[in-house]
Structure 1
Amino acid sequence: MKKLKNEAELVKQAIAVGVRYAEARGAARFEATDSSNEKVEYLYRLLVHDKLIQPLPEDQVSQPSMRHKLAIWISRQQVP
């Protein structure tokens, strides 16, 4: 897994966009007390369920790999 340029910023942006997507879809309501790790896991699983990103093999699912997948997803959503 090759780290992306500005991956931390992309993950923050992916969480913000993903939270809006999940709430608009009616799939979840996030609280201010929810940790970023919880949000990352929920958003990863929601995007996999909606077939917006490809799932990782179950033995490779971890926080860093889910964050990486979200960063890739958001980087592809942006118009250059």
Structure 2
Amino acid sequence: MKQKKHDAQLLKLAMEIGEGYAVKRGFAKFDTGVSEKYKVECIYRLLVQDKLVQALAKDKEDGPNMKHKLILWISRQLPENHPLLS
């Protein structure tokens, strides 16, 4: 899994949109003290449950792989000419 130029910004955007999606689905917003690791896992699992992201193999479910899945998910939601995709 090679890091790309805008992965950090894409992950941040995925987290923002994922959290908004979770709220629309009826979940409460994350408290300010919640770790990023926990947020990534919660958003990833919600997207898998709603079949918006294909689940990782059980032995591959870790933080970096979940983050990568969120980056792939948000990359597919953006228009082709979006600056973060260059």
Quote the offset at 1:6 in angstroms.
Answer: 1.0
**Pairwise mapping of residues 1-80 of structure 1 onto structure 2 (< 5 A)?**
1-79=1-79, 80=81
Q: Percent identity?
A: 49
Number of paired residues?
80
Greater relative contact order, per chain length (Cα 8 Å cut-off, separation 6+): 1
Quote the offset at 1:24 in angstroms.
Answer: 0.9
Name the structure 1 match of 2:84. none
Residue ranges of structure 1 left out of the alignment (5+ in a row): none
TM-score (norm. length: structure 2): 0.86
Q: In structure 2, how many angstroms separate the alpha carbons of the residues matched to 1:42 and 1:10? A: 17
Structure whose CA Rg is larger: 2
Q: In structure 2, how many angstroms separate the alpha carbons of the residues matched to 1:60 and 1:2? A: 16
Quote the offset at 1:3 in angstroms.
Answer: 2.8
Q: After the TM superposition, which segments of 4 or more aligned residues of structure 1 sit over 6 Å from their partners?
A: none
RMSD: 1.1
Residue ranges of structure 2 left out of the alignment (5+ in a row): 82-86
Q: In structure 1, how many angstroms separate the alpha carbons of the residues matched to 2:32 and 2:54? A: 28
Q: In structure 2, how many angstroms separate the alpha carbons of the residues matched to 1:57 and 1:66? A: 11
Q: Secondary structure at the match of 1:2?
A: coil
Q: In structure 2, how many angstroms separate the alpha carbons of the residues matched to 1:17 and 1:41? A: 14
Q: In structure 1, how many angstroms separate the alpha carbons of the residues matched to 2:14 and 2:62? A: 17
